[in-house]
Chain A
Amino acid sequence: MFIHPEEIMETIQMISSMNLDIRTVTMGINLRDCAHPDIDTFNDNVYEKITHRANKLVDVADEVEQLYGVPIINKRISVTPIATIAETFTQEEIVSIAQTLDRAANDIGVDFIGGFTALVHKGMTAGDRRLINAIPESLAVTEKVCSSVNVATTKAGINMNAVHLMGNVIKETADLTRDRDGIGCAKLVVFANAPEDNPFMAGAFHGVGEADCVINVGVSGPGVVNSAIRDLDNPDLGEIAECIKKTAFKITRMGEMTGREVSRRLEADFGVVDLSLAPTPEVGDSVAAILEAMGLESCGTHGTTAALALLNDAVKKGGAMASSSVGGLSGAFIPVSEDAGMIEAVKRGSLKLDKLEAMTSVCSVGLDMIAVPGDTSASTISAIMADEMAIGMINRKTTAVRIIPAPGKNTGDIVEYGGLLGSCPVMPVHKFSSEGFVKKAGRIPAPIQALTN
């Protein structure tokens, strides 16, 4: 088959000047066969299984990167939700599991390991509660471990006991990592409808319905979409949607090809391509910039939700055509700290928490990487979380909250995390209390949308 020179030059240009890359290659590893009543044996089993399955992950990813000339930015591991296999252990013992995960991740050389996770959308076991209580210390004493807790689903409703508890856990996590602006919270995600095949940190875990060892891929290409839209000559919105679809197709194809090659070389199953537009702090690799390319003066102003809906839908349509293995979170991500355009919009005052929340009803994830003042109360954080969970529950979609009450920081201050996590202006929250609502125990019942059988 003849390869057109134009296609060759386009591909090379996408990679070299528009930040097209494979964001993550994530190996999902099942740890259920590591279960053991003795904590030391359990930890040994976990370490052995992870290092055995993933010892070649980084090398193979590097080889494939070189073969295709497409950068692979992050190599990661996700494991079976730890709460499901560590039911019997004490809180201190559960912290030692986090340390084992961290040691394994360090020894293999991956960037992050996810799956320090509990699934408590309908109710909490004693083991789930111990794991959740162990999160602050675990995130403070480890570098690479990421944690997530699923507190709501469309089928089960919202576990408000868990939402209440997570408000306190987030505050404590921020406090234990206060010397680094509360970075522990950047590794902690609260979910509604968490997908089981999610390769994106910090929420990644290896779902219980998955095979023993799976390679999932996340692709990132906001820069490519942005420049494709800006190249159009006075387009209408239909033409913009068409352009995004075509670009998303190409990006997803690249992810699928890379993922299949990595999984073939590692003799692991190929899982999914997460067909996402995930921004980076690099200038030009911003989702907010795409929205602004559609004619908005600054992201967050009126019209932003509509523009984001158009973008998110077009990304899914293009990606769905490109791969039969689409999964994960899939869509446009709008983390604040990781997106240069979003950071600017917050600084300019055009983007506030309420607008962000509205945007999350049409985008891929939710309130992601948001810094709020350090003195924000746990109940306010829980209430922010409850709102976001409600959006996910009612709309049958995944939503998440990754929020950082930055210790000692006030509205307008900047917190710096470096690398992919970027930096973030501290955003104001409503000053009226939600305490009375959050303190009421119980569960918000599953909505009528759950009755689909």
Chain B
Amino acid sequence: MTSTRFVITVIGIDKVGIVAHITNVLAQFEVNIVDISQTIMEDLFTMIMLTESKEKGFDLDAFQDAINAAGDELGVEIQVQKDDVFRFMHRI
């Protein structure tokens, strides 16, 4: 489990600037986007991003704090989870 990939999910009421705001936080922490998908169901905005940090001393705590702060500001729910949890759970 040496990968430093994280899955970021965003769920909330759609409004202008969600993607911009969040990708801005990613850029600050030098987190790269590997894959991104986004849909709007009715009014509900959902975005799933597979991201990667190549920094050795990546500070997950600070990153999550910053992401949560962005989520609060935008009124959406954001989760940052290591990608292993999704691979491991559903696949043999």
**Is B9 touching A12 in the complex (CB atoms < 8 A)?**
yes
Q: A66 contacts which chain B residues (CB < 8 A)?
A: 60-61, 64
- Least CB distance from A41 to B in Å reads 41
In this assembly, does A261 line the interface, its C-beta being within 8 Å of a C-beta of chain B? yes
Tell me whether B92 is interfacial, beta carbon within 8 Å: yes
**Contact A69/B37 with A5-B48, A8-B48, A12-B79 known, Cβ cut-off 8 Å:** no
Tell which of A1, A3, A66, A256 has the most Cβ of chain B within 10 Å. Answer: A3
- A321 and B88 in contact, given A8-B48, A68-B82, A69-B79 (Cβ under 8 angstroms): no
Of the candidates A7, A68, A69, the one whose C-beta lies within 8 Å of that of B90 is: A7
Q: How far, in whole Å, are A260 and B88 apart by their CA atoms in the complex?
A: 12
Query: Which residue of B9, B50, B84, B91 is within 8 Å of A68 (Cβ)?
Result: B84
Q: Which of A8, A256, A260, A321 contacts B86 (CB under 8 A)?
A: A8
Complex interface: chain A residues within 8 A of B91 (CB): 1
The CA-CA distance from A5 to B86 in the complex, in Å, is 10
Of A1, A9, A253, A256, the most chain B CB neighbours within 10 A belong to A253
A425–B61 CA distance with the chains assembled, in angstroms: 44
Once the chains bind, are A7 and B86 in contact (CB under 8 Å)? yes
CB pair A67–B82 under 8 Å, yes or no, is yes
A10 neighbours in B (Cβ, 8 Å): 90
Which residues does chain B contribute within 8 Å of A3, judged by CB atoms? Answer: 7, 50, 83, 86-87
Number of A-B contacts (CB under 8 A): 59
Chain A residues near B20 (CB-CB < 8 A): none
Q: Is A254 an interface residue (CB 8 A)?
A: yes
B48, B79, B89: the one contacting A253 at CB < 8 Å is B89
| Smallest CB gap from B85: residue in A | A68
A12 to B50, CA, bound (A): 15
Query: In the complex the two chains form, is A69's CB within 8 Å of B81's CB?
Result: yes
B66 at the A interface (CB under 8 A): no
A66 to B59, CA, bound (A): 12
Q: How far is the CB of A397 from chain B (nearest CB, A)?
A: 28
Majority-rule SS of B interface residues: mixed
The digit string for B44-84, where 1 denotes a CB below 8 A from any CB of A, is 00101010000000001100100000000000000111111
B1 within 8 A of A: yes
Q: How far is the CB of A210 from chain B (nearest CB, A)?
A: 24
Given contacts A68-B82, A261-B1, contact A11 B60 (CB under 8 A): no
A250 touching B90, Cβ below 8 Å: yes
Q: Name the distance in Å between B15's Cβ and chain A's nearest Cβ.
A: 21
Instruction: Find out whether the CB atom of B84 lies under 8 angstroms from the CB atom of A5.
Output: no
The answer to the question of A257 belonging to the interface, with a C-beta cut-off of 8 Å to chain B, is yes
The answer to whether the Cβ of A70 comes within 8 Å of any Cβ in the partner chain is: yes
Chain B nearest Cβ from A15, distance in angstroms: 9
Q: Nearest Cβ in chain B — how far from A222, in angstroms?
A: 17
Please report which residues of chain A, range 240-274, place their CB below 8 angstroms from some CB of chain B when the two chains form the complex. 250, 253-254, 256-257, 260-261, 264
**Identity of the chain A residue whose Cβ is nearest the Cβ of B7 in the assembled complex:** A8
- Chain B residues within an 8 Å CB radius of A256: 88
The chain A residue sitting closest to B64, CB to CB, is A66
Contacts of A1 in B (CB 8 A): 87, 91
Contacts of A1-33 to chain B: CB distance below 8 A: 1, 3-5, 7-12
B89: A residues at CB distance < 8 A: 7, 11, 250, 253-254, 257
For B82, give the chain A residue with the smallest CB separation. A67
Q: CA of A70 to CA of B85 in the docked complex: distance in angstroms? A: 9
A260 to B86, CA, bound (A): 16
Give the complex CA separation of A277 and B13 in angstroms.
Answer: 35
Q: How far is the CB of B1 from chain A (nearest CB, A)?
A: 7
- Which of B81, B88, B89 has the most chain A CB atoms inside 10 A of its CB? B89
Cβ contacts under 8 Å, B80 to chain A: 69
A-B pairs with beta carbons under 8 Å apart, 27 shown = A1-B87, A1-B91, A3-B83, A3-B86, A3-B87, A5-B37, A7-B90, A8-B7, A8-B48, A9-B9, A9-B48, A11-B89, A11-B90, A12-B9, A66-B61, A66-B64, A67-B82, A68-B82, A68-B84, A69-B85, A253-B88, A253-B89, A254-B88, A257-B84, A257-B88, A257-B89, A321-B92
Q: With contacts A5-B37, A12-B9 known, what are 20 further pairs, Cβ within 8 A?
A: A1-B87, A3-B87, A5-B48, A7-B86, A7-B89, A8-B7, A9-B48, A11-B86, A67-B82, A68-B84, A68-B85, A69-B79, A250-B90, A254-B85, A256-B88, A257-B84, A257-B85, A257-B88, A257-B89, A261-B1
